Amino acid sequence: MNASPSAAPGSPQKASLPESARGLCWGGFLLPWLWAIFNRTWIGLLSLVPILGFCIQVLLLFKGRDWAWANKEWKSVEHFNRVQRRWSIAGLILTLGLAAAGIFAAIMIPNFTRFQAKAQQTEAKVRLMGLYAEEKVSWVENSAYTDDLSKLNLEPSGETRYRIGFANSAPELREHCPSCLATENGFKAVAVGKIGQGRLDVWTIDQDKNLVNVIDGTK
């Protein structure tokens, strides 16, 4: 007598899988450990082991139907095929859903990060516009611009991302804009900060209200 060669090691012997029920086991391949529990094919739980995982999935793809037929009672071949088809559809839907979610995240996360960085740039623009306004007051009152921050009402409230001022205000500002100084007839100020994922962002403004993003930290 010929013993069935289809059962997984340690499983009860049973009649071979009918020809009409043969095929690839996509449910076992795509949802290995869930499929293994439902179909009493415990070898599938080895898919949870990192080193063996993919090998077990491939094994289930080709041998899963044989083992499921041998390890669990089925009402009929039609019942078996119907259940395995549902597992295949469920695995396909889940896989496609996860793939779609991954693609969506790959598109949206960088866009969100860039949008967030754009919003953070508002601080530099607002504070430089404030400096511009104070410089205009200085010019009206003293007929000259100044690069002495102590003479400008620029104290920020709360935490700030940017440092603003002139080349003589701090080495960091001088490094990125050595020409940012004030004279009797004009001025150029700079804002230096880090936004988004720590990218350098530099802005300048002059007496003509030209606001320039010298180094764009959103790119």
Which of 55, 72, 105 terminates a domain? The answer is 105
Q: What is the pLDDT of residue 190?
A: 95
Q: What is the pLDDT of residue 51?
A: 87
Q: Locate 209 and state its tokens.
A: 């209200």
Does residue 155 register a pLDDT over 90?
no
Does residue 100 register a pLDDT over 90?
yes
Q: How confident is residue 184, by pLDDT bands cut at 50, 70 and 90? A: confident
Q: Which amino acid is at 64?
A: G
Q: Which is nearest to 164 in space by CA: 183, 136, 187, 142?
A: 187
1: in domain: no
Mean pLDDT of the chain: 88
- Shared domain check, 95 and 148: no
140: in domain: yes
pLDDT digits (tens, 9 = 90+) for 108-127: 888 888 888 889 999 999 99
44: in domain: yes
- In total, how many domains does the chain have? 2
pLDDT digits (tens, 9 = 90+) for 4-29: 444 444 444 456 888 888 999 999 99
pLDDT, mean of residues 139-153: 88
Sign of CA dihedral 174, 178, 180, 181: positive
17: in domain: no
Task: Say whether pTM exceeds 0.95.
Answer: no
- Shared domain check, 149 and 96: no
Q: Locate 179 and state its tokens.
A: 């020409």
CA distances for 194 relative to 177, 182, 207, angstroms: 16, 25, 25
Higher-pLDDT residue of 46 and 155 is: 46
pLDDT, mean of residues 61-65: 93
The Cα 137–Cα 217 span in angstroms is 31
- Shared domain check, 151 and 89: no
Which of 105, 135, 155 terminates a domain? The answer is 105
User: Which residue range(s) make up the domain with 175?
Assistant: 121-215
Q: What is the pLDDT of residue 111?
A: 81
5: in domain: no
100: in domain: yes
Residue 123 CB neighbours (<10 A): 19
- Shared domain check, 176 and 127: yes
Q: What is the pLDDT of residue 90?
A: 94
